[in-house]
Amino acid sequence: MQIKKTDADITDLIIQARRNRDEREKTYRERALKLFPHVCGRCGREFEGKKLKELTVHHKDHNHDNNPNDGSNWELLCIYCHDNEHSMLSDEADYGASGGLKEKGPSTTYKAFAGLDGLLKKGS
């Protein structure tokens, strides 16, 4: 017998899951901010004051339950670099290691300055 979940039940589950995630994040985020300088590990931007909320903790092995006390599985990334890191991981999963991009020649064959040297020689 399968119990049908109502929309309210599902909403409650989502709220509880988010609350648990937020509580877990608080603990390792606070530790990471004490361990590391407030600098994005990718772009090098520095964060302080109100901007500090834009600095996120990235799990190097992508396992959010792996939170060693020495912070060896963490790096601080700004929200932009963190989103980029996860989108690259998603692209790799969807399209393979090359991110779906194949090595190919130039996208255009038009050469804007072709023959310019001849025109310059004529004018002098």
- Reported as a single tens digit per residue, the pLDDT across 50-70 is 999 999 999 999 888 898 889
Q: Indicate the fold that domain 7-100 takes in CATH.
A: His-Me finger endonuclease fold (3.40.1800)
Q: In this predicted structure, what is the pLDDT of residue 101? A: 47
Taking the C-alpha atoms of residue 25 and residue 18, their distance in angstroms, rounded to an integer, is: 10
Residue type, 28: Y
Average pLDDT over residues 43-50: 94
Identify each DSSP E strand in 1-124 by its residue range: 55-59, 74-78
The residues spanned by each domain of the chain are 7-100
Mean pLDDT of the chain: 82
With contact defined as beta carbons under 8 Å apart, do 58 and 84 qualify?
A: no
Average pLDDT over residues 83-93: 83
pLDDT level of residue 74 (50, 70, 90 thresholds): very high
Per-residue pLDDT at 109 exceeds 90 = no
Average pLDDT over residues 71-98: 85
pTM: 0.56
Closest CA to 32 of 42, 21, 24: 24
Residue type, 80: Y
pLDDT level of residue 108 (50, 70, 90 thresholds): low
Average pLDDT over residues 90-110: 61
With contact defined as beta carbons under 8 Å apart, do 101 and 61 qualify?
A: no
Per-residue pLDDT at 46 exceeds 70 = yes
Q: In this predicted structure, what is the pLDDT of residue 112? A: 67
